[in-house]
Structure 1
């Protein structure tokens, strides 16, 4: 992105949209919405639907006095009678927006804003005549600059991985990358997730726990190879019932979303990334339908159901 952007017909320097609030550099929701090309209300609604991604250190609401103080500083445009207290997004919050607003423009805008934050930090370090608050911020940022840069690299690596590929090979040691991709696949489900995996433990449940709220879960695993009862109880207490069927009918691992989308996983989820394995999406609808029908049959068989009161479909 260029150093200058157009907002409300006025050319504005991108760095001028970054303010200092509570000793942090932040951007306001209305400016971010304009940059992403959406209405402020729609922008905040999209963020609200993903509140778990935006803890208070990523996003916070201005107090009345903070808003009034900013209002007196902003000269590039009028607040136009805004009746609500705006939200402020820190650097981490802006980086996380690309995971919520999934578009090429969103990614491009986020990268441009990150560059502006970096340039702002450099300007602070070069400026000798800043206020005492800016000097304190400079010292803190100098101390944590290396850690922050590494954090942003991880965030953008996650955002790149969030565009789920149809197939991928993971090599030995890529456990974090495998966990991120499997979690992103799980979060695609809107109604139900079914996992076929002969060996399940707490690490497997940790992947399933990344699902959206109210999405049902079921697993098919080998007899006698189930997870600890306390792990199951902890999962169900926090994430809802988990239907379990025991069977040796499957050798390979499969992950099925909403009865329509299926992935073949070359390793048990608990071991994903410990050794090389492949993951690929099944593209043939008839093949997926047949797989789903066979899984449903296991839950129809009372001798193979470990939890007869639970039914995932």
Structure 2
């Protein structure tokens, strides 16, 4: 299978973070799958039982305004009377089965691969942040321990300076 069907960057630029989920808008998916948005939404409505809310949901007005304001390629949504549907990673895979075209299947696989890469990236990034935090805690503890050692040394020096001169005992010449 030719992986250059849709470049990774193109797919990544179309993935948005809405309601705490990574999603893609119906218009972008239709473009990637080579169908019209109307056709894509028709197929979804015909198979609505395949798309539970964690696969697909419709944007509310606030979310729609946010998308229009932040995504240059979606400016035309501003004039649309209906809010777009967005699809999660699982929803994009289900779309390939309801659209039932070779391009949809290939593109869907490519989209899933990008979602997986993004998840791995975020996981690796999270692990790196956790390691850095662990190192910071260790350094903070080391700083406290070093400060404690210097305090003890200062106390010992003060005690030695404040000692009364004692007469020496032992063998005298």
Question: Which bin holds the TM-score, normalised by the shorter protein?
Answer: 0.5 to 0.7
Structure 1's unaligned 5+ residue stretches are: 6-11, 129-313
Larger Cα Rg: Structure 1 or Structure 2?
A: 2
Alignment match of 2:86 (pick from 77, 85, 88): 88
Q: What residue is the counterpart of 1:254 in the other structure?
A: none
Which residues in structure 2 correspond to 1:46-61 (within 5 Å)?
Answer: 46-61=43-58
The equivalent of 2:59 in structure 1 is: 62
Q: Secondary structure at the match of 1:13?
A: helix
Higher RCO (CA-CA < 8 Å; seq separation 6+):
2
Q: Which has the higher helix share?
A: 2
How far did 1:57 drift?
Answer: 1.2
Residue correspondence of structure 1 range 1-313 to structure 2 within 5 A: 1-2=3-4, 4=7, 13-75=10-72, 77-80=73-76, 81-127=79-125
Check conservation: 2:67, 2:74, Cα contact below 8 A.
Answer: no
CA distance in 2, matches of 1:46, 1:79: 25
How many angstroms apart in 2 are the aligned matches of 1:119 and 1:34? 22
Deviation at 1:121, TM superposition (A): 1.1
Unaligned runs of 5+ in 2: 127-173
**TM-score, normalized by length of structure 1?**
0.37
Larger proportion of strand: 1
Task: Using the TM superposition, give the Cα deviation of residue 42 of structure 1 relative to its aligned residue in structure 2, in angstroms.
Answer: 1.2
Q: CA deviation at 1:20?
A: 0.8
4+ runs deviating over 4 angstroms: none
Aligned residues: 121
Query: Is contact 2:69–2:75 with CA below 8 Å preserved after alignment?
Result: no
Q: Please, what TM-score do these two structures have when normalized by structure 2?
A: 0.64
